[in-house]
Copies of this chain bind each other. A is one copy, B any other.
Amino acid sequence: MLTEERHQIILKQLQLHNIVKLQDLIPLTGASESTLRRDLQDLEECHKLQRIYGGAQNILSYHDEPALSQKISTNTDEKDSIARYAGDLVQNNEVIFLDAGTSVQAIIPYLSKATDLLVVTNSVVNASILADYQIETFVPGGKLKASTKALVGSTTTKTLTAFHFDKAFLGTNGFSVKAGYTTPDPEEADTKKIALSNSNESYILADGSKLEQVSFTRFANLDEATLITNELPVKSLELLKTHTKVMEVK
């Protein structure tokens, strides 16, 4: 990888995240720590970024953000920690499906560690972000649902039926022992069902706020996918674990 390519990757990361850790750049570029330190030095001299302890930040960053040194070291955001956990599950060379929705979207930055991925997503927003990360992406066709910017309908389901995934990552509007995983829109539920049944392993990303929420359409029973969530009340967790595999983050 050429110097200029690394510089572009670093600046792209900053555009997207406003901040970047040096350690995260290592797998992203394949370069050594020393080289990346030199890159950060160079870019700082050109006033393209500002170095901070542990990495670098955008030169135009807002003052009202939480202390940057904290933000970089601690991952307070629940969605982000769930996403990071999920992203670490992905291996080189896999074909994975990403559902629409912000929970799943947060995985994308953590996919860069794996190489030679093929990502299939029915979200045009996810697709755009995946392109920013230079991750090979395939989009099934379909009708665009305005509210969620997800592709749905017969074209989508027909296309997805022909695919097979190593792992599928889905969001949900609610999960409950009685009702399973539910979502408001039957058409989106169809998409989720197919992705789920065509994947070796399926994961649902859902923070604690989705516990015992029930929406209109069930797209899966609890035991059809692994639930990745954050800290839940001990009682609920115990109950859930009798029905399905649960990964509790942090």
Copies in the complex: 2
Interface residues of A in 34-57 (CB under 8 A from B): 48, 52-55, 57
Q: Which 7 residue pairs are nearest across A and B when measured between Cβ atoms?
A: A141-B141, A137-B144, A124-B124, A124-B127, A131-B146, A2-B54, A140-B141
A16 to B2, CA, bound (A): 16
A22 to B234, CA, bound (A): 55
The reply on A159 being an interface residue by CB < 8 A is: yes
Cβ-neighbour of A138 out of B11, B48, B143, B149 (below 8 A): B143
Q: Is the CB of A144 within 8 A of B139?
A: yes
A113 to chain B, nearest CB (A): 18
A84 to chain B, nearest CB (A): 23
Cβ-neighbour of A63 out of B8, B19, B132, B147 (below 8 A): B8
User: A4's closest neighbor in chain B, by CB?
Assistant: B52
**Chain A interface mostly:** mixed
Inter-chain contacts of A139 with B (CB < 8 A): 124, 139, 141-142, 144, 151
A5 to B62, CA, bound (A): 10
Inter-chain contacts of A19 with B (CB < 8 A): 2, 4-5, 8
Inter-chain contacts of A63 with B (CB < 8 A): 7-8, 11, 48
A interface bracket (residues with beta carbon within 8 Å of B):
35 or more
Q: Is the CB of A138 within 8 A of B134?
A: no
The reply on A3 being an interface residue by CB < 8 A is: yes
Having A139-B141, A141-B141, one finds 20 other A-B pairs with CB under 8 Å, namely A2-B55, A3-B54, A4-B57, A4-B61, A5-B19, A127-B144, A128-B128, A131-B144, A131-B145, A131-B146, A131-B147, A131-B149, A132-B146, A136-B143, A137-B146, A138-B141, A138-B155, A139-B142, A141-B142, A155-B159
**With A3-B53, A62-B8 in contact, is A127–B149 under 8 Å at CB?**
yes
A53 to B131, CA, bound (A): 26
Inter-chain contacts of A210 with B (CB < 8 A): none
The reply on A164 being an interface residue by CB < 8 A is: no
The reply on A193 being an interface residue by CB < 8 A is: no
User: A150's closest neighbor in chain B, by CB?
Assistant: B131
A117 to B139, CA, bound (A): 23
Q: Is the CB of B144 within 8 A of A138?
A: yes
Interface residues of A in 61-116 (CB under 8 A from B): 61-63, 67
